[in-house]
Amino acid sequence: MTRFVGVCRRAPRRLRRFAGLFGVLALAACASAPEPIPATVSHAAPPPAAAKPAVPEKPGFALDARYFSELEGWDDADPLKGLDAFRRSCVALLNRAADAPLGGVGYAGRVTDWVSSCHAAMSVNPSSRENARRFFEDNFVPYQVAQANSDGLFTGYYEPELRGSRIKHGAFQTPLYSVPFDLVRRDMGVYRDTYVGRMLNSMMAMGMMMMRFVPYPARAEIERDGVPAKPLFYVDNAVDAFFLQIQGSGRVILEDGTVVRAAYAGQNGQPYTAIGAVLIQRGWMTRQQLSAQSIRDWLVAHPAEASEVMNTNASFVFFAERPVGDPSLGAVGAQGVPLTPEASLAVDRSIHPLGVPIWLESTAPTEDSDVSERPFDALLIAQDTGGAIKGVIRGDVYWGYGNAAGIVAGKMKHPGRMSVLLPRELAVTLGTHATFALP
């Protein structure tokens, strides 16, 4: 969910009531090419020129072709879940126009460049991790992502569980709102070519007999005054509702035992602020103490300050009710496909296109108090995005549903390396090394 906030003055509150007259407006929201890479995959040692990723001198990043044998942990990897996730991404990709750009800065070409790989993925039925590895080796070329002065940063997210009711009563006092009727999403590209794809979430108001757009209220005002939208549910814990907005979706257990999904549906366009940084700035927590669980514990233990601290994050998320479907899968991500635990990655989609396989070499926390970390080398598919996920070597690993996933996701904050896997036909055009400017 990419967030852009317009710099404009907000209309007086008395003007907002006229927004309903207009209904909901839904406006959609160089690479260098060196010598071609070899036409076959080899596990032999690479040529000397490819031994170290080349970092662009100017701001940007580079892609350098690698052999699969160079990817740390690849020979022992189990990419079966990654292959399943890639198949789901292929369904979304193949439903797009063949000449449509895949997205990001452009290194992944167009949909037509992925058709052969997707058809191969749909037809293969690997019976083992070895066969799954062979599929990727036969159809893709890894490119290590290199950026000057960056060690990468990889965090985790999950799908939380909340208790809720469709009726406000008793402990169920905190609303989860659907998208307000006066929330407008505009593509900023209509104002300037360089803004194409950048979205502005705003309020539609009436003034001097003409329609205009103004910033949508921030969290504090929404919490105080509400929004013109029917609450989907009322949950029994305001802190849980806050963390649900950070994660983007979650499952709500209703009073009769029914489980439904509160899925991300929109956002108020205000900037995201990490409240962990606020706690550190105020001296209430140290950087060493910081984790999602420690932040949650602090909010619960300090109810008098909790609301004000949470309101320092002006971003506010709206939801839609969805069936859970396959309980082993997560909510639908930004690409429009269900997320796969430990095989889906949220990325900065202004840089990386959704649907691209990514080999991640990093470290992950464990639930075991005796063993705090373990190597995490895995094949993930870029299928989601998030307001806090900004940068080239930056990702958010989806860990699944429930408390166990939440423990791991909340503690994950590690450096790492990433390599994007591109179809062999596209790699021949791209060459062994390419540089890209940042958007």
In CATH, what number is assigned to the domain containing residue 144?
A: 2.40.40.10
Q: In terms of domains, do 116 and 1 share one?
A: no
Q: Is residue 232 part of a domain?
A: no
pLDDT for position 39? 37
pLDDT reading at 297 higher than 60: yes
pLDDT digits (tens, 9 = 90+) for 299-322: 999 999 999 999 999 999 999 999
In this prediction, residue 401 has a pLDDT band, given cuts at 50, 70 and 90, of: very high
pLDDT digits (tens, 9 = 90+) for 84-107: 999 999 999 999 999 999 999 999
Which carries the bigger pLDDT value, residue 213 or residue 347? 347
Q: In terms of domains, do 21 and 56 share one?
A: no
Q: Is residue 390 part of a domain?
A: yes
Q: What is the average per-residue pLDDT within 395-423? A: 94
pLDDT digits (tens, 9 = 90+) for 201-231: 545 444 434 566 788 999 999 999 999 999 9
Q: In terms of domains, do 423 and 394 share one?
A: yes
pLDDT for position 17? 31
Q: Is residue 164 part of a domain?
A: no
CA distance 193 to 196: 6
Q: For 236-269, b where at least 16 C-beta lie within 10 A, e where not — what string?
A: ebbbbbbbbbbbbbbbbeeeeeeebbbbbbbbbb
In this prediction, residue 5 has a pLDDT band, given cuts at 50, 70 and 90, of: very low
Least confidently predicted of 143-157, 179-193, 252-266: 179-193
Could you give the count of Cα atoms lying within 13 Å of 437 in the half-sphere of its Cβ? 2
Which carries the bigger pLDDT value, residue 411 or residue 118? 118
DSSP, residue by residue, 6-19: ---PPPPGGGGGGG
pLDDT digits (tens, 9 = 90+) for 39-65: 334 443 343 344 455 555 557 999 999
pTM: 0.77
pLDDT reading at 362 higher than 70: yes
Q: What is the share, in percent, of the chain residues with pLDDT greater than 90? A: 69
Q: Is residue 4 part of a domain?
A: yes
pLDDT for position 184? 83
Among residues 227, 259, 284, the one where a domain terminates is 227
Q: Are 282 and 396 in contact (CB under 8 A)?
A: no
Q: Which domain holds residue 418?
A: 31-158+329-439
Q: In terms of domains, do 129 and 192 share one?
A: no
pLDDT for position 214? 81
Q: What is the average per-residue pLDDT within 25-51? A: 37
Q: What is the average per-residue pLDDT within 388-396? A: 94
Q: Is residue 237 part of a domain?
A: no
CA distance 117 to 96: 15
Q: Are 421 and 141 in contact (CB under 8 A)?
A: yes
DSSP, residue by residue, 250-302: EEEE-TTS-EEEEEEEEE-SPPP--HHHHHHHTTSS-TTT--HHHHHHHHHH-
Q: Is residue 406 part of a domain?
A: yes
In this prediction, residue 387 has a pLDDT band, given cuts at 50, 70 and 90, of: confident
pLDDT reading at 188 higher than 80: no
Q: In terms of domains, do 10 and 58 share one?
A: no
Q: Is residue 291 part of a domain?
A: no
pLDDT for position 23? 33
Q: What is the average per-residue pLDDT within 235-253? A: 95
Q: Is residue 50 part of a domain?
A: yes
Q: In terms of domains, do 213 and 143 share one?
A: no
Q: Are 394 and 348 in contact (CB under 8 A)?
A: yes
Q: What is the mean pLDDT of the chain?
A: 84
Question: In the block, which residue shows the tokens 């893709």?
Answer: 140
Q: In terms of domains, do 341 and 379 share one?
A: yes
pLDDT for position 369? 62
Q: In terms of domains, do 391 and 414 share one?
A: yes
Among residues 211, 227, 243, the one where a domain terminates is 227
pLDDT reading at 284 higher than 90: yes
Among residues 227, 250, 279, the one where a domain terminates is 227
Q: In terms of domains, do 394 and 427 share one?
A: yes
pLDDT reading at 186 higher than 60: yes
pLDDT reading at 361 higher than 80: yes
Q: In terms of domains, do 15 and 40 share one?
A: no
Q: In terms of domains, do 57 and 153 share one?
A: yes
pLDDT for position 37? 45
In this prediction, residue 27 has a pLDDT band, given cuts at 50, 70 and 90, of: very low
Number of domains in the chain: 2
Contacts by 166-171, CB closer than 8 A, 24 or more apart: 166/232, 166/233, 166/234, 166/254, 167/234, 168/231, 168/234, 169/234, 170/236, 171/236
pLDDT for position 388? 82
Q: In terms of domains, do 195 and 223 share one?
A: yes
